[in-house]
Structure formats: structure tokens, C-alpha cells
Amino acid sequence: MVHVFYPDFWPEIASCLRNIDEPLDLVVTYVDETKGIPEMVRKDFPDARFVLCENRGFDIWPFLKALKTVDLSKYSVLVKLHTKRDVKRDGRPLVFNHCDFAESAWREYLLGFIRDAESWRATLVRLSQPGVGMVADRHVILRRDDTPWFGTRHTMDLAFSLIRDLYGVPVRHGAQFVAGTMFAARPSVFAKLLNREWTADDFAESVHDGTEQTAHILERALGIAVTAEGLRIDSFDGRLGLWRAAMTVRGFLLSSLEFLWSDSKQTSGRRIIKVFGISVYRSGHRPGIPEEENCVVVEPPHDPLSYSDLLNAYALRASANHDGRIVRVIGDNPCAISPFGWNPVRRIRSRRFLKKFLKPVVGKAPKGAERADLGPNPVRVAKVDSCWFNLTSLRADGGKTLFVHFRRRSKENVSAARAFAKAHSAKVRFFFDDSGCGGPIQYVDAVANSTWVMTDTELGSDFAAAFGKDMVAPFLQGGIHAD
């Protein structure tokens, strides 16, 4: 089954399909009758069948609609492909599962299992093994906690609930999915998914934060369905476990590198260590200048458990560090946060944030050191600094975005936010205290790129003022009151 939305990428798909030596039935879905897609495909595969679909749900709704037209019991293997375009880098890396997926890389990884005849033969061998229900390239096989985008863990939980209802089996631990939905699978794993009468209206959401769209929930559900059938997803080369072990070691080494090359290890000139283009360490002691004249002192956060104080301290440090000077966060013991007591998880996360991003130094400031001061709104000022820019991936994509931060998730406030976003043709990004507010950096990235802010929290209000964002007041009435 192939969804052809971008005709320019059909030759690449056709080349991959020619690696299949076995008899096959090709079903092609498309959304635009004016692009001549059937005529183009028939030049390579005269017997192909076509299903015209509504332009909804990316490649997921066309896949479900096409599944209704075939008898899955007649086939031993189902291959799902689609014409995925290049992903624009926009001056930033697109990194997940430890790989940079920008430009054509994501598509190349997705097609890895069928890219050549050898890979396809390996795919068939792997799929024929007991316990294997789906095969893809290891780079795109993700678990719940492997997805770094905000909100995707909640989306994964929604997919778990969907599969539990349709398959009658509670599934959670060990479930995986293919990010980008190109794979070879046993057709039987999708049979129960069709027990629900899917229609195009199920995919009619307005464009908002894509992680909560039905298509993205089903992207994960396609993989979770494999686990619900008592099977697993594996890489075509059988190296998925080894790959994950190697990435674990890699993460440990990078963390060690960042720890060893802290700001206490100064060198002459500038030293910049980058991972996937992101500066993770920067030093620049100016040769010949005494340390006390080359040092910038940053105040530690007044309340280490406050997102606002943490971010302000980090913004000061990032901007002060940009000119290559020695930056120190000075305090009696700015990392002394007990990991026990009220909200231990938040205490541990705050402690890690302090150590990783502030790198505090116990002691007094050197005599003559300059004190960093960016005024009343340090985060707002720091966001224009290139060092801060690299870390938070700030970018202007020309679209409108509603930033939403509520204490609690409810149908009422979610509906209100989406109604506003739909009325203004905007995207929406959600943060909820009761289901994970994301990391400090992701939070600032979201509010900095927003057009409006809707919130019932002091933190959200403070940052709206710091960034000069318009507050959406009407929807904070009628059942969505601030506590």
C-alpha cells in the first residue's frame, strides 16, 4: 500500500517496490485527481489499483480507507510506504532517537528496509521469525520514552487506550511504533483495528500541535497493535537491541564529556563542543587578561524549584557566556536541593537542571568580576542571543500559535483553546501541570514562538508579560477560572 501525495517522490518509491520479487498487489491511494498520479503509476505497475481519498489524516486515513478494500487474509506480508517529502532544517537540527532527521534523512531511514534487494530479503527473513510482527529500520523504531517532542507521551497513552478498547488487551510496557509509518508487517495485526468504523471526519481537526491529532495517535497505535497481538517490532538487520545499547553508552559519554569540560576547565582561545550542531559547551578565556577581569558572575536562582527563577538564571548565564568570558554562578551551595520531601520528582529535575545548565561554583566572586544583569526581563532579552537561540531552536515560521498552560487538563479548557486556535487559523501548544509541564527549555521555546498566551498560572502570566505576548482573556471565564 502506497500513499502518493508528492508525485516527485514516486520514482524513489517505484525503485524500492522493484526489489520485491514475490507476486504482489499494489494499492495506491491519492487525494488529487489533477496530478495524473494513476497514469504515472501505471507506467511502472500497470495492474495497480487506486483509491481516491479525502486530504485528511496525512498518510494514515488513506491507509485505513485502503485496508477496507482488501481481504487481509489473502496476503502474507503488508508493506506500507508513502511519498514523504524532505524536512526543512530551518537553521536547526531535527534530532530524535539520537539521529539528525532533517532534509532527506528521515525518508531514507524509513525506506531502509526496502531500499535494495538485500535489505528486502533481510526484511522477509526477519518477519518470518516467530514473535516478529513488524519490521522497519532501527533508526525509526521508537518507544514511549524515546520521543522528545512535547506531548507525545500523552499521545502514546491515548494510543494505548485505543488499542485496549479495540483489541481487548491492556498493552503498555515494551510497546513500540515506527515514527513515519513505513514498514513491512503481518497483515493480521491490523484486523481488529478495522472493527471501528473509521471515516474521514475522524481526521477533521484543525491544524494545531500535531502530536495530539488522530493521525499521530494512530501512528503509534499501528505499532502498539503488534504488541497487542503478542508480537514485536524489529529492525530488518536484527540489530535493534545492539543499537539501543550503543546509544545508551553514547549518551553516557556525552554527559561525561560535558561534565569533564565544565567551565572550571578553561583553555586559551575558544573551545566549542557541538552535538548535532548544538553548542553544548563553550569556553573562551581571552588570553593575557587576568581572570578577575575576564569573569562574569551570575546570581543563582532564588528559588531552585521555581521554573521562572531557574530560567532567568540560565538566560543570564547563556547571554553572559556568549562573548567568550568565564561565567560563574556563585553561591554558598546553589546545588544543595534535597531530592526528598514535597514533590521529589520536581526536586530531582531542578537539581539536574542546575548542575547541567548552570554549572554553579561554590564560593565568592573574584575581586573585580562583572555581575551579569539584563534588566527586569532577562529571559526576553536573552532569547535574541545566538547561544540561547541555538539551544531553544527559536524560529519564525510565519504561522500563528496559541500557547496554553493550565494547572489541570480538562475537556472544557482544551475545547476552549482549540476553539480559539481554530477561529484564528492557529496552532496550539499545551502544557498542563497535572500531566507533565515539559522541561524549562521546551517551555520557553513554546512561549517565545507563540502569538497569544492562555493560562491560569502565575508562571504563564509572568512569561507572557516578559515576552510581550497578548493574553487570551475571554476564555478564562465561564468555567476556566484561575484558582
Angle at 125 between CA 122 and CA 130, to 5 degrees: 140
Give CA–CA dist 221/118, Å, rounded.
29
CA distance 367 to 420: 54
pLDDT tens for 413-457 read 888 899 888 988 888 888 876 554 455 556 776 777 788 999 887
Domains recognised in the chain with CATH numbers: 2-245 (3.90.550), 266-389 (no CATH), 401-476 (3.40.50.2300)
How many Cβ atoms are within 10 Å of 289's Cβ, its own excluded? Answer: 12
At a CB cut-off of 8 Å and minimum separation 6, what does 350 contact?
304, 305, 310, 337
Choice among 72-81, 89-98, 272-281 with the minimum mean pLDDT:
272-281
276-313 per-position pLDDT tens digit: 333 333 444 445 556 666 777 887 777 777 666 777 77
**Beta pairing partners, 96:** 99
Residue with cell 524549562: 440
**Residue found under cell 525506506:** 111
pLDDT, greater one: 478 or 162? 162
pLDDT at 325 (0 to 100): 66
Q: Which pLDDT value is given to residue 446?
A: 77
- For the residues 123-131, what does the mean pLDDT come to? 96
Check residue 281 and give its pLDDT: 39
One-letter amino acid of 407 = R
For the purposes of burial, counting CB atoms within 10 Å of the CB of 2, is it exposed (0-12), middle (13-18) or buried (19 or more)? Answer: buried
Q: On the CB side of 61, how many CA atoms lie within 13 Å of its CA?
A: 21
| DSSP assignment letter at 357 | I
Total-model pTM? 0.59
For the chain, helix, strand, coil in percent to 5 are 45, 20, 40
Closest to 199 (Cα-Cα) out of 82, 69, 62: 62
Count of residues in the chain: 483
Q: Which residue has the higher pLDDT, 97 or 115?
A: 115
pLDDT tens-digit map of 41-64: 999 999 999 999 999 999 999 999
110 pLDDT more than 50: yes
Bridging pattern class, strands 452-455 and 470-471: parallel
**Cell, residue 172:** 503498555
In three-state secondary structure terms, 166 is helix
The DSSP secondary-structure symbol of 185 reads: E
On the question of pLDDT at 1 being above 50, the answer is yes
pLDDT surpassing 90 at residue 222: yes
For residues 234 and 225, give the distance between their C-alpha atoms in angstroms, rounded to a whole number: 14
The mean pLDDT of the chain is 77
Is 327 strand, coil or helix?
Answer: strand
- The Cα-based distances of 226 to 71, 157, 163, 177, 187 in angstroms read 19, 16, 10, 9, 10
Distance CA 382, CA 313 (A): 11
